C-alpha cells in the first residue's frame, strides 16, 4: 500500500516535513522531548535542535517547555501544535485520495518479484 | 511562494522522490548521466547508482544507455521515463492547487521578519 509524504517548502529555509511532524506527535504523546527522541531513534540533542527550529518558525509556539524538578522538565503541545499535526495529516490523507490514479498507474508498473528485477545493462559505473 | 514536494513510498524500499525525478529530467535534457550529475552537483558514481536503482524499480526502463565511441556513451529517456516525469510534475502542480488553503493557513503564521523570530526559551539543550 503506497504512502505519500509531503514536504512543504515555504522558501529556501523554512519547511515542514514528515520528520518534524512525527517528532511533534511523539512529544505530544510522551510529554517529553527526550522520550520522543528515543522513540524516533534520534539523539536528544538532534531532536532538541529540530523542534527548536520548527518551534521558532511560526509566530505562535508549537510546544511549551516546562522546567521540571527532580525528574527533569516536560514538554506539551500548544493548540497550534495540535493544529499543525492535524493539518499535515489531513493533507497526507487527502493526497492519497487525490493522487490515487497516478499512484496506481506507477504501482502497477513496479517490478514485484525479486527474480523479475531487470538487470542493469552494465555491471559497474562507466562514464556515459 | 510555497512549493510542495512529494515522496511516494510504495513500500519500505521503493519510492519516487523529487531528487530522482530531477535527475531523470536532467538526463533527458543533457543526454548524459555525467552531465546530469554535474548539473546536480553530485558525483557521477552517486548519480549512476541513483538512476540505476530507479531504472530497475519498474518493469519498463526509464532510460536507455548507449555505449558510445570516443566521446563516451549517452543516455536518453524512454517514453516511460517521459511519462514518469510528466505524472510526477502534474501531481506536484495539482498538490499546490489542492492544498492551497492549508498551505496559506500555515504560511500566514510564519515569522516573516528576522527580528520577529521568537527566541528559544533555553539557550542550550537541556534534557526535558
**Across the interface, which of B44, B55, B121 has its CB nearest the CB of A125?**
B44
Percent of chain B past pLDDT 90, that is, above it, reads 77
Is residue B118 pLDDT above 70, yes or no? no
CA B80 to chain centre: 17
Q: Does A89 touch chain B (CB under 8 A)?
A: no
Which H helix or E strand runs over B98?
A: helix B79-98
Predicted pLDDT of residue B115: 47
Is residue B123 pLDDT above 60, yes or no? no
Task: Name the minimum distance, in Å, from the CA of B92 to any CA of chain A.
Answer: 10
Task: Name the minimum distance, in Å, from the CA of A40 to any CA of chain B.
Answer: 16
pLDDT band of residue B93 (cuts 50, 70, 90) is very high
Predicted pLDDT of residue B107: 94
Predicted pLDDT of residue A67: 81
Contacts A45 to B, Cβ<8 Å? 125
Long-range contacts of A84-87 (CB under 8 A, 24+ apart): A84/A16, A84/A21, A84/A24, A84/B106, A85/A21, A85/A24, A85/A25, A85/A28, A87/B102, A87/B105, A87/B106
The per-residue pLDDT of chain A, averaged, comes to 88
3-class SS at A16? strand
Predicted pLDDT of residue A95: 97
Q: How would you list the strands of the sheet with B3-9, edge to edge?
A: A15-16, A3-9, B3-9, B15-16
Domain boundaries along the sequence of chain A: 8-109
**What secondary structure letter does DSSP report for A109?**
T
> What's the CATH class of domain B8-108?
mainly alpha
Query: Any idea what the Cα angle at residue A15 is, between residues A79 and B116, rounded to 5°?
Result: 65
Residues A14 and A23: beta-carbon distance below 8 Å: no
* Start-to-end Cα distance in chain B: 36
User: Of B51-55, B88-92, B119-123, which range is least confident?
Assistant: B119-123
A74-77 and A63-66 strand pairing = antiparallel
Contacts B72 to A, Cβ<8 Å? 127-128
Predicted pLDDT of residue A116: 47
Average pLDDT of the segment spanning A75-88: 97
Q: Least CA distance to B11: which residue of chain A?
A: A2
3-class SS at A76? strand
Q: What is the CATH number of domain A8-109?
A: 1.10.10.10
Interface contact A72-B44, CB threshold 8 A: no
Interface contact A109-B65, CB threshold 8 A: no
Predicted pLDDT of residue B20: 96
A88-105 pLDDT, tens per residue? 999 999 999 999 999 999
Is residue A125 pLDDT above 70, yes or no? no
Q: Least CA distance to B61: which residue of chain A?
A: A118
pTM above 0.90, yes or no: no
Residues A25 and A92: beta-carbon distance below 8 Å: no
Q: What is the ipTM score, two decimals?
A: 0.81
Amino acid at each position: 500500500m503506497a504512502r505519500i509524504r509531503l514536504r512543504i517548502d515555504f522558501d529556501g529555509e523554512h519547511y515542514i516535513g514528515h520528520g518534524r511532524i512525527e517528532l511533534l506527535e511523539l512529544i505530544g504523546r510522551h510529554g517529553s522531548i527526550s522520550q520522543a527522541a528515543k522513540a524516533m531513534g534520534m539523539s536528544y540533542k538532534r531532536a532538541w535542535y529540530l523542534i527548536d527550529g520548527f518551534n521558532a518558525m511560526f509566530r505562535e509556539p508549537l510546544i511549551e517547555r516546562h522546567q521540571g524538578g527532580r525528574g527533569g522538565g516536560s514538554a506539551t503541545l500548544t493548540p497550534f501544535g495540535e493544529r499543525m499535526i492535524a493539518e499535515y495529516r489531513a493533507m497526507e490523507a487527502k493526497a492519497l485520495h487525490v493522487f490515487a490514479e497516478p499512484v496506481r498507474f506507477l504501482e502497477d508498473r513496479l517490478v514485484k518479484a525479486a527474480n523479475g528485477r531487470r538487470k542493469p545493462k552494465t555491471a559497474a559505473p562507466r562514464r556515459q
